[in-house]
Amino acid sequence: TPTLPPIVEAAKIALGRPEHHQYPSYEGMLSFRESIAGWYKKRFLVDLDPHTEVLGLIGSKEGIGHMPLAFIDPGDTVLVPEPGYPVYHAGTLFAGGETYYMPILESNGFLPDLSAIPDSVYRRTKIMFINYPNNPTGAVAPDSFFREVIEKATKYGFIVAHDAAYSEIY
């Protein structure tokens, strides 16, 4: 079916506005970032500062792939679920880091066994990637798992990067 005439007319008007003919700011419009912060507050009861803690990206691959470049030095360790999104490892590789794979096995509810990771590995870790609901298993992590992750991150001083791409699939 053809596009409704009011939509066509609105598009014509929008095309005539000069502000629609420039590159957007890299961090995204403030109103967009404020909306994201509001959604996180409503959905996860998390307070985010839209000026310093929200960044609009062209996709998750961009953020995940570049994160190690921003936060690790060559030789630092990044904890990566296996199986998992290949970009976790690729970004680590590009940054000169070392990937430590955390097996996610059915016998452990498709959660990494955090107690099996040696203390020496945790001490070198700068980022831990997790992904729940998990791809490819579909597993959902209980609150106790997230508490354990935060305890480890606090103790050893690493960043937890929760790739929650599937959080809205019920």
Q: Two tokens at 51? A: 């000026």
Q: Residue 111 pLDDT more than 90?
A: yes
User: Quick one: which of 90, 118, 120, 123 has its CA closest to 102?
Assistant: 118
Q: Which residue has the tokens 């005439």?
A: 5
Which tens digit of pLDDT belongs to each residue from 122-156? 999 999 999 999 999 999 999 999 999 999 999 99
Q: Do residues 77 and 97 touch, judged by C-beta distance below 8 A?
A: yes
pTM here?
A: 0.84
Give every strand in the sheet of 77-82, ordered side by side.
Answer: 111-112, 98-105, 77-82, 125-130, 159-162
Looking at residue 128, the DSSP 8-state letter turns out to be: E
Q: Residue 169 pLDDT more than 90?
A: no
Q: Do residues 102 and 111 touch, judged by C-beta distance below 8 A?
A: no
CATH number of 59-162: 3.40.640.10
Domains of the chain, by residue range, sit at 1-56, 59-162
